[in-house]
Chain A
Amino acid sequence: MAHRKDKYVDHVLVRYTPKQAFKDALAAIGRFFTYSNLKHGFRSVTGGFREFFVFFFAMLLVQLLFWCPMLAMQSREATIKKEAYAAADYHVKIEGMSSSEWSLYFNDTFIITDTFEEKDRLYKSYEAKKYVNGSGREMYELKILMREDGMDQSRSFLLHYPIKGEAVAIEYSPRCTYPDEVAKVSATFVPIIIAMGLLGSLILLVLYNIRINHYKFRYGVYMSFGADFEKLFQTAAWELFSIALLTFIPSLVLGLIIQIAVTVSLGGAMAFSPALILWAVLWQLCVILLAVFPSVRILATKTPTSLIVAGDNSNYVSSPRTSFRIFRKSFPMHYELYGFWRFRRYYATLLVSAIVFSSLFLCGFFINSMVTASENTKTAEFSLIANSNEGIDPLLIEEIADLEGVQYISWENSIDATAINAYIVLNNRQRSGISSKTVKTNGGYADNNYKYSLIDDTLYSQVTREGGWQIEGDLSRVMNEPNCIAVSEYINNSRSLNFKVGDTVKLAVFEMSHGSISYEVPDNKYILSQLLSKGEFHFVTVEVAAIVDTGDNDDRYMIAMSGELFDSVVHKEINAMKADIFVSEALSHEETELLYDKIRSSIAIFDAITLDNLRSGLAHKTAQKSSATPAVFICASVFLLIAPAVWLFSQSMFGAKRKIENEMLSAFGATDADLGKLYLFSGGVLTVPATVATVVIGWGVTEFIYWLINEFLTSLGMGADFRYSYSFSIVGLLVCILVSAASAMIATYKPFAKWKKERDALLRKHLGE
């Protein structure tokens, strides 16, 4: 793009350099933040309160879009801290010290440091305990409480006073690790708050655009007397910012009341940081600047004459071509239909503007279901990881599964179909959601977007426990009958296949290839096409004995089978490399820690297996005590409330300009009943496109959100790892339709009722009543 070289500065054409542009930008910022702008903004919105009423309402709601997630975030963070403090009274636990290691460590570290003043020590206090381990040896355990919270503090202590020993284990307590959890919460909420800011901008943009459209005359006059973009932008932004300042405290109080109510009812901790106020002001400023910029930028490019001329939108000045037709046709129907046609752009904009917010309400339902699913999803408390190809011994899994407090253990003995050149032959119904990924073959459609999983007695006993897989059919048949399989139907949270218990499918087992198969293009369909043309297979016909939902968000579906069948179709030995241990929800933190100790003792003899403490129980508890669901629901409700505000705001201003038209029609003989019919007809007609638009836009936006989260983000590796499904709430849709239709009707009829009331009052005044 060519750089602009000349510009009128102080009405003189000058060379305009980037340096000058930078200086001008700084000067413009300086001119923006002035007391006089604030004063004019306040005067404008308080003097014209009725004109700005809808903005006060909208601003309050927009601010709630900040307060609800922000306060929910703070509450979640405070709850994490509270639970972490309740869970452990120490930062670091060192255990497994032999008596010699203990004496050495104790004498070198604690005796010495005990002589220091408290302020000079890295730790605040410690607690030492002697215990006997599984092999009957006397061991020592030391719990240290640091002076400050945080991993750094603990690590710095251990660096200062390193400890050595074969069986020594160092464990950082939740008190130490909670800042990481807090950081994760912030990382989740910050994009949400930014997204709410963008949506808040959209709300204000729509409303300000409506205002500009209805006040074109005024802006035309402003521009006739010297207003440029900067002045118009300053005026618009400060009007909205003044409103934001006036609604700031009420919205904060409302947000706090909501959050306190939610927090108290769930048992979480409440927090409010004063720094939030600064963030809120900054957020609000960004939202406002973003909202007014596009509308004002477009406005500033118009000529004052075009704005002044466009000021009048009364219907009776219908174009000369159609005017004569209006009076020959039936009144009010044809008359009003011509009006609709004449103002088609206005009505189309109004419909889209209002209904986009109803659609966001529908999306809120969907997101709410996702948040609820996320909060209710139980995740493993511990993970066993195999560090060698031998995998995890099934006997060890069984031993751990029998420990008290273990709910079930889940692991996978699986292999990708593409890794063994296998495919499955599906019929048209079964492949319903993946038809584009399958390749037509003899007897059906070939597909290789799945994995083979081995299900043995141990896994069977685990996944059939409470909280395991959801099973339709009889999973035991998979274990007991040679040609039975279990299948899952989900790919990336979408139910992509349609199996029925009792279905038969053919599994293609690769034998040899008549040419080389290229795996360079990582596309399963491409590989499958090559296999079909060059490969030789034999087929195993199997029966679907069970349909299972594992609850995982996986990019492949699963075909689970017994060891015997697995051997015959996979021809490879598979070992479990990772096993997730789920514990009972009733366990307290101390009991969970004791269980951790027990599991650690069990794996002590396996050198190549490590145990991870994921502490998801604590995270689960804090998530449930500080649920984000109310915040989502309130934000969704804000969008639903905005829709009628848009209708009423726009139609009241449009209707106000029809006063002269009403009077003219009355003068030509239209009765109040005729006019009433006209407005009722108008409102009635509007409800039809409003309903259609609600269904279409609502469905479209929800589908888009689903695609965005389920496919786009998943393709970037950012998808959720829990099961949620697409939901288009029928109740939500009915609420939206009702709100849209009622808003269209009321907003259209109200200006007429107002005009009639004012006219009657004037008449009574003239008659001296």
Chain B
Amino acid sequence: MEDRKIILKAENVIKQYKQYDTTVTAVNRANVEIYDGEMVAIIGSSGSGKSTFLHICAGLDRPNSGKIYIRGNDITAMTADELGVFRGNFMGMVFQNHNLIPQFTALENILIPTLMCNKPDHSYEEHFKKLVATLNIHDRLHHLPSELSGGQQQRVSIARALINRPQIVFADEPTGNLDRANADEVLELLIKTKEELGQTLLIVTHDMKIAERADRILVMDNGNLTPYKKKQ
């Protein structure tokens, strides 16, 4: 494994929030190295800081200190504009609450990343068809998110994260709002596309069954990231 290329590296990442007169440390000196093509799961209890850490790794939030390197580039040193373009081209994000734009149809939601990165239609047409078929949402494309079930919304959200063929996919509790059957199905889809596209997958979950499918499991506890040790 160590011979493989490191695609994501977090160094001493700290994230603190001010709440009234107290300071909450959500991420406390987190360090991690993730290799190209690897699937890593971060588990931890609610409020342990795992979603915050994921957002920082995906460049959606800024740490108070520490560095995040993706493909060797320090994204914490990038300007907001540079980071925006970088995110659009190399990263995909699946949110816990789907975060679909309610006024847009499923199709429009999926195509947002192509529009934001100025991708010409022909560059993603084939991939789009394949994604829609794999995710089985071809008959729901012209529906608004409010007209879709939780599972369908999450599939749309996954399609949106994958449409630009990102090298790293960040998934924040992708199955959190789904029942077991739907959760398994969504996870299968993520793993399948990861294999097909050779992506790296960093997934945050509190579901051990999902985490066990990963190549590596990390535990976030009070902002600290440690390798998972199976209880004997």
Contact = CB atoms under 8 A, between A and B. Distances in A.
Is B a genuine binding partner of A? yes
Given A218-B101, A225-B88, 17 more contacts: A8-B73, A11-B71, A36-B118, A48-B103, A217-B101, A218-B103, A221-B112, A223-B84, A224-B93, A225-B93, A225-B113, A226-B84, A228-B88, A229-B81, A300-B80, A303-B62, A308-B99
Interface in A217-248: 217-218, 220-231
B99 A226 contact: no
B148 interface: no
Contacts of B81: 228-230, 300
A301 B78 CA distance: 12
Contacts of A221: 99, 101, 112
Nearest to A223: B84
B39 to A, nearest CB: 21
Contacts of A8: 73, 78, 82, 85-86
Contacts of B55: 305
A302 B79 CA distance: 11
A13 B73 contact: yes
A51 interface: yes
Contacts of B73: 8, 11-13
Contact of A228 (B20, B58, B80, B101): B80
A218 B99 CA distance: 9
B197 interface: no
A229 B80 contact: yes
A301 B164 contact: no
Contact of A226 (B20, B78, B117): B117
Interface of B: 20, 55, 58, 60-62, 71, 73, 78, 80-90, 93, 95, 99, 101, 103, 112-113, 115-118, 160, 164
A219 to B, nearest CB: 10
A7 interface: yes
Given A303-B62, A304-B60, A305-B60, A225 B80 contact: no
A225 B87 contact: yes
A19 interface: no
A230 B84 CA distance: 10
A3 interface: no
Interface in A690-744: none
A321 interface: yes
Interface residues of A, number: 33
Nearest to A226: B88
Interface in A189-240: 217-218, 220-231
Contact of B60 (A11, A40, A224, A228): A224
Contact of A225 (B62, B71, B160): B160
Contacts of B88: 225-228
Contacts of B112: 221-222, 225
A8 B88 CA distance: 14
Contacts of A229: 80-81, 84
Contacts of A303: 60-62, 80
Contacts of A305: 55, 60-61
A12 B72 CA distance: 10
A301 B61 contact: no
Q: Which residue of B61, B80, B117 has the most chain A CB atoms within 10 A of its CB atom?
A: B80
Interface string A295-315: 000001111111010000000
Interface in A35-58: 36, 40, 48, 51
B87 A11 contact: no
A768 B99 CA distance: 34
A308 B157 CA distance: 15
Contacts of B103: 48, 51, 218
Give the top 6 A-B pairs by smallest Cβ distance, nearest first.
Answer: A226-B88, A228-B84, A225-B113, A228-B81, A226-B116, A305-B61
Contact of B115 (A40, A223, A302): A40
B74 to A, nearest CB: 8
B60 to A, nearest CB: 5
30 contacts: A8-B78, A8-B82, A11-B86, A11-B90, A31-B118, A48-B103, A51-B103, A217-B99, A221-B101, A222-B116, A223-B84, A225-B88, A225-B116, A225-B117, A225-B164, A226-B84, A226-B116, A226-B117, A227-B84, A227-B88, A227-B116, A228-B88, A230-B81, A231-B118, A300-B81, A303-B60, A304-B61, A305-B55, A305-B60, A306-B61
B62 A226 contact: no
Contacts of A225: 87-88, 93, 112-113, 116-117, 160, 164
A231 B60 CA distance: 17
A218 B102 CA distance: 9
A308 B88 CA distance: 17
